[in-house]
Amino acid sequence: MLIGGKLRSKYAGEHIDYALFGVFPAAIEADILIACGTSPSANQGGDRPQINLQNFNPKYLPSTFSRARSSSDLVESDPSLKIDTTHLKWESYVKAAYLGTLAFLRGQGGDKEGGLESGEKEDWNLLIDGRVPAGSGLSSSAALVVSATLTFLLLSRSSSKQHPQIAKSTLVSLSIESEKRVGINSGGMDQSASILAQGDAALYIDFYPSVKAEVVRVPGSSSGKGGYAWVIAHSCVVSDKVVSREGGYNLRVFETRVGARLLASALGLPTSDKPLLLREVVQLYIDKEASSSKKLTLAQALDEFITQVDLLFDTTGLPPSDPSTLIPKVPVTIEDLVRLSGLPQDNFTEIYLQSKIDPSRNKGGGFLIRERTRHVLEEARRVLEFRELCRDRDGDSGSENLKETMERLGSLMNASQKSCDTLFDCSCPEIGQITGIARAAGALGSRLTGAGWGGSTISLVENEKVKGFFEKLKEEYEPYKKMGEEEFAKVVFATGMGAGAGIWVV
Ligand code: NG1
């Protein structure tokens, strides 16, 4: 059997999924494929059969870990099942999927029915292939977790002679929870896109009040003259969310959560003993205004927040930032945040400090709550505008006003890049260079895609300009200069929109 999990790229909405705001991704054509099968256990003398992993890429060494004997026989009793989140390896993502699937099937009412008991003495063999480099910001980690989750569901069900049946929405939440096992407090965008995508269209994925996806067609997709291409260019800087999580991804999750709490108290909205997320705060505001007969759409509420955000933070007593450098005059410390939250230290720690964070990597060495919050609110607003522009045309690629629409989409992408660079500080000099070259080569918009701190860019380019665009990137971006054609084509490519994860019985 062959199982495919899709990689994704994003048109709009960076670092807002974990604040529960809607995002606008699409699956790209590249994927991660797993071929799987079973064999009589080679470990007959031993007490349990194995899961054997091999990767086509010789960089990723083969790996083996044990199948659980029963649902109660988990990590505690078998070190081979443990994920060392301080030294992640490629197979950690497969283990995360395995442990997540075990926990899920156990919750479903039994490991026997799910075929998890290894009484049958059968090894499971997985051969994995992926065409896009890891750490390229195209969510290869989520594609691997999704495809491995599907594989284990399939193998456990087929060994109990049942057909696998799982709602896509359940598979989405299962994959999101599984990937958290590697130690990243990730949002759900990548797994949702990898599973729910439909060919030739993007998705608007909303996380509030629960995950739902709307298929939205992006204009300009006709091939040839008058059409537009989406070009991915990898910066060749590995974006490793895990290595940089304490001063990067997990720190940003923390800053935006605390920002939500401070905003809520500045607005006199109820706060609770769990981390309020920014989308929830906006909803509390919409509901409060509705009770005094002022009806606000999400876009209108965001506009009000955006115009007031600096003011609101001032009333909480946060030190004002210097607008020219965005560095606060006084670094905001954890003690400041505890005081401003109004929570006792223990509660604050329990609610917000579940993962280790290190603000010393921030400009100025302190927390930048105002800048992070502003990015999330403005980026969420850009996503709504991007979606409206696409919805209005509903895939119509006729020439009337098309250029104007595409230019507006491009300028939203550029604004997003600027915000990721200055407010959220998740870009890097190399991404800055590529997006600069891309715009000079005629891209209507260019931005990073994914968590940032390396990884890839996505650019919107008129079809007629694509050839020259590729040449310009190759001439001007240092790491591309010495690449042969084949190597260059792996890191810079135009992509259509692919369909979501699937299973092929061969
Ligand atoms: P990438 O860099 O593609 O893995 C990560 C998160 C997303 C989202 C983006 C930033 C995971 C699996 N994915 O994407 O949920 O927060 O960063 O927009 O952690």
Reported as a single tens digit per residue, the pLDDT across 202-254 is 899 999 998 889 999 999 888 778 899 999 999 999 887 766 788 899 999 99
In the β-sheet with 492-494, what is the strand arrangement from edge to edge? 445-449, 456-462, 228-234, 492-494
Backbone phi, psi, residue 272, to 5°:
-130, -175
Ligand 1 centroid, distance to 121 Cα (angstroms):
38
pLDDT at position 107 over 80: no
Ligand 1 atom nearest 8 alpha carbon: 3
Q: In this structure, are residues 127 and 56 in contact, taking their beta carbons and an 8 Å threshold?
A: yes
Given this model, what pLDDT does residue 363 score?
86
> Cα separations (Å) of 175 from 88, 96, 162?
18, 9, 21
376 lines ligand 1 (CB under 6 A): no
Contact 97, 152 (CB under 8 A): yes
Residue nearest to atom 6 of ligand 1 (CA): 186
Which has more pLDDT, 303 or 504? 303
Amino acid at site 88: L
Q: Tell me the average pLDDT across 39-54.
A: 79
pLDDT value at position 161?
Answer: 56
Would you state the pLDDT for residue 500?
A: 84
For ligand 1, the distance from its centroid to the CA atom of residue 279, given in whole angstroms, is: 18
Average pLDDT over residues 119-144: 82
Of 483 and 495, the one with more pLDDT:
483
Active site residues: 190
Give CA–CA dist 198/181, Å, rounded.
28
Q: Is 31 in the pocket of ligand 1 (CB under 6 A)?
A: no
Mean pLDDT over 304-318 rounds to: 77
User: Poorest-confidence range of 106-110, 283-287, 474-478?
Assistant: 106-110
C-alpha 253 to ligand 1 mean position (Å): 11
C-alpha 38 to ligand 1 mean position (Å)? 33
- Percent above pLDDT 70 for the chain: 87
Higher-pLDDT residue of 32 and 274 is: 32
pLDDT at residue 200, rounded to an integer? 82
**Pocket flag, ligand 1, residue 6 (CB < 6 Å):** no
Per the model's pLDDT, the better-predicted residue between 255 and 225 turns out to be 255
For the segment 157-182, the average pLDDT, to the nearest whole number, is 81
Q: Collapsing DSSP states into helix, strand and coil, what is residue 66?
A: strand
Instruction: Indicate which atom in ligand 1 lies nearest the CA of residue 452.
Output: 2
Q: Which residue's CA is the closest to the ligand 1 atom numbered 15?
A: 187
Q: What share of the chain is helix, strand, coil (3-state, %, to 5)?
A: 45, 15, 35
Residue type, 95: K
pLDDT of amino acid 327:
43
Can you give the pLDDT at residue 221? 83
User: Which of 8, 20, 189, 237 has most ligand 1 atoms within 8 Å of CB, for mutation?
Assistant: 189
3-state secondary structure of 369: helix
* Ligand 1 touching residue 137 (CB < 6 A): yes
Alpha carbon distance 201, 25 (integer Å): 9
Cβ of 139 closer than 6 Å to ligand 1, yes or no, is yes
- Given a cut of 70, whether residue 112 has pLDDT beyond it is no
In ligand 1, the atom with minimum distance to the C-alpha of 188 is 15
Instruction: State whether the beta carbon of 241 lies less than 6 angstroms from ligand 1.
Output: yes
Q: What 3-state DSSP class applies to 53?
A: strand
> What value, to the nearest 5°, has the Cα angle with vertex 153 and ends 151 and 154?
65
CA-to-CA dists, residue 487 to 6, 236, 483, 492, 493, angstroms: 21, 11, 6, 9, 11
Asked if 200 and 221 touch (Cβ cutoff 8 Å), the reply is yes
Q: Residues of 21-51 as b/e, b for ≥16 C-beta within 10 angstroms?
A: bbbbbbbbebbbbbbbeeeebebeeeebbbb
Q: Which atom in ligand 1 lies closest to the alpha carbon of residue 189? A: 15
Please indicate whether residue 215 or residue 187 has the higher confidence score (pLDDT): 215
Write the DSSP symbol of residue 497: B
